[in-house]
Chain A
Amino acid sequence: GQQLNQSPQSMFIQEGEDVSMNCTSSSIFNTWLWYKQDPGEGPVLLIALYKAGELTSNGRLTAQFGITRKDSFLNISASIPSDVGIYFCAGQLGAQKLVFGQGTRLTINP
C-alpha cells in the first residue's frame, strides 16, 4: 500500500526555537493534511493543503504542498510548551481516505 515517510521521528528543542518537519511519498496525493495529537486524544487538524505549491499559515504554523504533489513540510515558529505532541502528515486519496505518516514527536525544553 501507499506509504508516507515522515521525518524526523523525534525532535528535542529549546522553547522559542523554530521547528521543521516533512513528509515524502512515492505516490501523488490530491490533498495534504497536518494533524497534531496530544496524549490520550484523537488527532486534531492543523492545516489542510489542496493545491500543488500552496503555502498556508495558521498562526505560528506554516505548511506547503509540494509542486510534485508528493511531499509537504510543516514549520512551527517560536515554539512554546503547548506545541509538545506528535505531529502527523496525511495524504488524502479518493473517497477521502487518508494515508498517515509515522509521526514526529516534538519535545520542548523550557
Chain B
Amino acid sequence: NAGVTQTPKFRILKIGQSMTLQCAQDMNHNYMYWYRQDPGMGLKLIYYSVGAGITDKGEVPNGYNVSRSTTEDFPLRLELAAPSQTSVYFCATSGRGGSNQPQHFGDGTRLSIL
C-alpha cells in the first residue's frame, strides 16, 4: 500500500532556483493538500485541490504554484526559491463523500534553501 508518496525526500536549493515537489496518491482520493511545517510549529496550508482541474489557495500560498491535471498527482512548484521557504513540506489526501473524511499524510520533503 503506497498511499501518499512524496518525492524527493530531501533537497537543497540555491536562492533563485526553481523546483517541483511531487505528490502522488493511489487511493483515488478527490481532495489533495500541500502544507509546510516550520521548526517547532504546526502545519500551515499552502494550496489544496478538490478534484482534477480545480485548485485553490490556502493560508500561505505566496511563492508557490500548483496544478492538478490528474486525480493521482498534485505537484507543488517553487519558481524563485527564497530562504523563507526552507521548511518541511507535506502532501495530504482525503477521500470522497463530503467533509468528514480525515486527511492522510505523506512522509514529507525536507527542503533547505541556501
Question: Are B106's CB and A42's CB within 8 A?
Answer: yes
- For B105, the chain A residues whose CB sits under 8 A away are 35, 42-44
Contact A101 B100 (CB under 8 A): no
**What distance in Å separates the Cβ of A69 from its nearest Cβ neighbour in chain B?**
14
- Given A1-B59, A96-B99, also A41-B43 (CB < 8 A): no
A84 sits at the interface (CB 8 A): no
With A30-B99, A42-B106, A43-B105: A97-B58 Cβ-Cβ less than 8 Å: yes
* Given A42-B107, A42-B108, A88-B42, also A50-B56 (CB < 8 A): no
> Of residues 81 to 96 in A, which have CB atoms within 8 Å of B's CB atoms?
88, 90, 92, 94-96
Least Cβ–Cβ distance between B48 and chain A, in angstroms: 6
Residue A31 interfacial (CB < 8 Å): yes
Can you list, as one digit per residue, whether each of B13-56 has a CB less than 8 Å from chain A (1) or not (0)? 00000000000000000010100000011111100101000001
By a CB distance below 8 angstroms, the chain B residues around A103 are 40-42
Q: 14 interchain pairs (CB within 8 A)? A: A30-B99, A40-B107, A42-B4, A43-B43, A43-B90, A43-B105, A45-B102, A90-B42, A92-B100, A95-B31, A97-B33, A98-B33, A101-B42, A102-B41
10 pairs of A and B residues whose beta carbons are closest in the complex: A100-B42, A42-B105, A100-B43, A48-B102, A45-B102, A42-B107, A43-B105, A102-B42, A96-B94, A42-B90
A contact residues vs B (CB 8 Å cutoff): 1, 4, 6, 30-31, 33, 35, 40-45, 48, 50, 88, 90, 92, 94-103
